[in-house]
């Protein structure tokens, strides 16, 4: 899978993709993440990519021309399954969407800044708009990193144990059950006896019960949905 990201602050994305699972995914050749500095397509020598908004009001808007030129330049060598814009008014990102996007071949992500991007870019190029929650960040870079991480770990071969992702929270519309490791007793708290029973059927039943109970207590909205 190839994911291209258009941003005015590529340095914000250096760390998320240079360590841990995302780094291993790229080292294995299973994922390619390329960040492109929008200022390479600036309208003047000063690197301008934003301007005042028509109609007045506080905040700058990312201009249509640099974004259009960047997108069309990248499209010359890559065909994208989706062109995604990270925006607070987009569709809320969830595990189901991560599963869906992980099966794509190439994705292009646009990171907004300031008051956002010129609406005409959204009308002409963007095929999917995503929000990671009902709040506003300084820019779309951190949100893009969240989306790429959630997608990347689902690509077959990225995780050492591919069944691990299938047991994550939200994969079956339930929260994951509690997990334990050594020692068997810690500060007076013992792990549940069932986990020491060696009976995989009973253990799986216990985990299913715990998942359902945890979801009822913490996220009843998931069950309603």
Q: All domains of the chain, ordered by start, with CATH?
A: 2-152 (3.40.1280.10), 167-224 (1.10.1270.20)
Q: Give the CA distances from residue 158 to residues 30, 100, 155, 165, 166, in Å, rounded to whole numbers and listed in that order.
A: 7, 16, 6, 10, 13
| pLDDT at 163 (0 to 100) | 53
pTM of the model: 0.91
Which of 28, 56, 44, 17 is CA-nearest to residue 146? 17
For residue 171, what pLDDT is reported?
Answer: 74
Give yes or no for a contact between 2 and 106, defined as CB atoms under 8 angstroms apart.
yes
Q: How many residues does the chain have?
A: 225
Structure confidence at residue 169 (pLDDT): 63
pLDDT value of residue 168: 66
Q: Which residues of the chain have pLDDT under 50?
A: none
Please, which residues have CB within 8 angstroms of residue 54's CB and are 6 or more apart in sequence?
Answer: none
Phi, psi dihedral angles at 133 (to 5 degrees): 160, 170
Identify whether the C-beta of residue 11 lies closer than 8 Å to the C-beta of residue 17.
no
């Amino acid at each position: 899978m190839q994911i291209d990201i258009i941003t005015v602050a590529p340095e914000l994305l250096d760390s998320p993709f240079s360590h841990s699972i995302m780094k291993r995914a790229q080292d294995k050749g299973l994922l390619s993440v390329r960040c492109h500095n929008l200022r390479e397509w600036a309208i003047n020598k000063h690197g301008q990519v934003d301007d005042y908004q028509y109609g007045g009001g506080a905040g700058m808007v990312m201009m249509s021309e640099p974004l259009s030129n960047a997108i069309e330049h990248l499209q010359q060598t890559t065909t994208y399954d989706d062109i995604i814009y990270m925006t607070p008014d987009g569709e809320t990102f969830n595990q189901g969407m991560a599963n869906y996007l992980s099966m794509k071949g190439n994705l292009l992500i646009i990171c907004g800044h300031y008051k956002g991007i010129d609406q005409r870019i959204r009308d002409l190029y963007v095929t999917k708009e995503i929000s990671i929650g009902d709040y506003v960040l300084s820019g779309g870079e951190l949100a893009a990193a969240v989306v790429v991480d959630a997608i990347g770990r689902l690509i077959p071969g990225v995780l050492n144990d591919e069944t691990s992702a299938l047991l994550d929270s939200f994969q079956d519309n339930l929260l994951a059950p509690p997990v334990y490791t050594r020692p068997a007793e810690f500060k007076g708290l013992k792990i549940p006896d069932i986990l020491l029973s060696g009976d995989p059927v009973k253990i799986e039943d216990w985990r299913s019960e715990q998942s359902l109970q945890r979801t009822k207590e913490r996220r009843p909205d998931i069950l309603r949905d």
